[in-house]
Chain A
Amino acid sequence: MFPLIDIKHITVGYDENIILADVSLTINDNDFIGVIGPNGGGKTTLLKTILGLLVPISGEVVFHDCMTEGNHHRIGYLPQINNIDRKFPISVSDVVKSGLMSRKRIIKRYDKKDTEFAGQLMQEMGIYEIRNKAIGELSGGQIQRALLCRALVNQPKLLVLDEPNTYVDNRFEKELYEKLRVLNENIAILLVSHDLGTISTYVKSIACVNHSLHYHPGNKITPELMEAYECPIQIITHGQIPHTVLHTHES
């Protein structure tokens, strides 16, 4: 086990509105961290800071050598699907290949190896047959698959997923988590989700983000844990599953 990224005491916010205060976290090579927390608690802000889209007001995000290749960090990113314009005229295979953008010099075309790897990924995800279709013709699950291929095509060391289970069918959701479990044998995964019940069986550890960050090195979510970390969250379940309604804490 070796560290990929050290997040050291970062404070992040927009204008005067501090969203994350003094947050620290180390991501190791074989981690599978579930990031949970209430809406507006700063989950996406944490992701965007790791991805370099937001610059912390104080503190720093340190990338270890193996995370850097050329001019970019070896992170694959699966954004929330509603960040994507589904009417944009682009084909599935172009979406996947856009993940290679940083590795290619601006003008250079793709070499055979890249195209083959992209094809192989699309085959694994079951979207090879529809590679020439425009994304506007696909279902939510199929778009997620294409975006996941895009995130993986550059062979990242860390895969970051932002709410991958919204707007997809149950079948894809299960497939996705199984896929992530396999991927986790080689790369680290950081998964943001509001659906605590499902992710807890897959993740190895949990980071609860609500203005601050509480790291729990295990995947058992108990009411005591949640209370102890002052982390009010929502659990959505169906049928006869025992559940606990948590109080909202003032932190």
Chain B
Amino acid sequence: MSLLSMDFFRNALLASLLASITCGIIGTYIVSRRIVFISGGITHASFGGIGMGYYFGFDPILGAVLFGIFSALGIEFFTRKADLREDSAIAMLWALGMALGIIFIFLTPGYAPNLMSYLFGNILTVSLTDLIFLTLLTIGIAAFFILFYRMILFISFDEEYALTNNTPVRLFNIILICLVALTIVLNIRVVGIILVMSLLTIPQAISNLFTRHFHRMIFYSMFFGFVGSMAGLIFSYIYDIPSGAAIIFALVIMYGIAKMYFVVRKAMVK
């Protein structure tokens, strides 16, 4: 196949595999724990870091990592202590990050190259460096979830109960929210800020139709995420449309088909 022989396509293939694994695990965690909105806040806050990267001349993704981690820790800390209503506080952070990003990019002299790829992602321009970081993250997340699977499951299910058992809930929450931030930021290269949340939620929504078990949701999500990415990648190649948008579109279609299957099956049983 001529597609496979192209370096950029091989990178794209690897990137979607790694994105599916990281988003499969972390997405299942955020969906189960109902922190999708918090994750959305972290995603958009990280745009501030991208803007600063442009302005000060360092790698925008590095800026996004810093902003992502700090906003994650900020949410983890302030939503417990401060009087602010949690959702309002997150919305504020969400908008603040975007505003900072826009201001810095505006102040940067000249044209901002690749800006669109940060907003909407471009899996075909994923670099070797991106892949190395994504691989490291994949290994880190997989190891953490394999080693501490039960602890993560129990804390997510009933944090209060975990606290009465004297388990290190706080430490786990901090590590997990940092892993969420890292997953989001590194996957920005793949599908972009605007679309990354869907990679963390749509495969889980599809999986949730098939299973109600945490570990199965993780594996099913990886599978659906990968199939969706592949399908999107092929669409984007054939019709020459942006890959990020094509991937999300493919995932939503998959969800529609799966949902329809269950609706029809339910109707048949009756």
A contacts, CB < 8 Å to B: 51-53, 71-73, 75, 77, 79, 83-85, 88-91, 94-95, 97-99, 101-102, 104, 106-107, 134, 136-137, 150, 154
Report yes or no: A77 in contact with B164, Cβ–Cβ below 8 A: yes
Sampled A-B contacts (6; CB under 8 Å): A52-B163, A53-B164, A89-B212, A98-B150, A98-B154, A102-B167
Interface residues of B in 132-179 (CB under 8 A from A): 147-148, 150-151, 153-154, 156-158, 160-168
A-B CB contacts (within 8 Å), total count: 75
* Closest beta carbon of chain B to A97's beta carbon, Å: 8
Are A88 and B167 CB-contacts (below 8 A) given A107-B147, A134-B213?
A: no
Report yes or no: A75 in contact with B160, Cβ–Cβ below 8 A: no
Report yes or no: A83 in contact with B158, Cβ–Cβ below 8 A: yes
* Closest beta carbon of chain A to B12's beta carbon, Å: 31
In Å, the complex CA distance between A52 and B167 comes to 12
Closest chain A residue to B159 by CB distance?
Answer: A83
In Å, the complex CA distance between A77 and B161 comes to 8
Closest chain B residue to A53 by CB distance?
Answer: B163
* Closest beta carbon of chain B to A146's beta carbon, Å: 11
Report yes or no: B164 in contact with A75, Cβ–Cβ below 8 A: yes
Q: Is the interface of B mostly helix, strand, loop or mixed?
A: helix
* Closest beta carbon of chain B to A172's beta carbon, Å: 20
Are A94 and B153 CB-contacts (below 8 A) given A88-B32, A89-B214?
A: yes
Report yes or no: B167 in contact with A79, Cβ–Cβ below 8 A: no
Most central of B32, B34, B160, B164 by chain A CB within 10 Å: B164
B166's partner among A85, A99, A102, A104 (CB-CB below 8 A) is: A102
B contacts, CB < 8 Å to A: 28, 32, 34, 147-148, 150-151, 153-154, 156-158, 160-168, 208, 211-214, 216-217
Task: Enumerate chain B residues within 8 angstroms of A83, measured Cβ to Cβ.
Answer: 158, 160
Report yes or no: A88 in contact with B156, Cβ–Cβ below 8 A: yes
Report yes or no: B162 in contact with A84, Cβ–Cβ below 8 A: no
* Closest beta carbon of chain B to A214's beta carbon, Å: 26
Task: Enumerate chain B residues within 8 angstroms of A88, measured Cβ to Cβ.
Answer: 32, 156-157
Report yes or no: B154 in contact with A101, Cβ–Cβ below 8 A: yes
Task: Enumerate chain A residues within 8 angstroms of B153, measured Cβ to Cβ.
Answer: 90, 94, 98
* Closest beta carbon of chain B to A239's beta carbon, Å: 38
Task: Enumerate chain A residues within 8 angstroms of B167, measured Cβ to Cβ.
Answer: 101-102, 106
Task: Enumerate chain B residues within 8 angstroms of A72, measured Cβ to Cβ.
Answer: 165-166
Are A89 and B211 CB-contacts (below 8 A) given A71-B166, A79-B160, A106-B148?
A: yes
| Nearest 5 CB-CB pairings of A with B | A134-B212, A102-B165, A98-B154, A72-B166, A51-B164
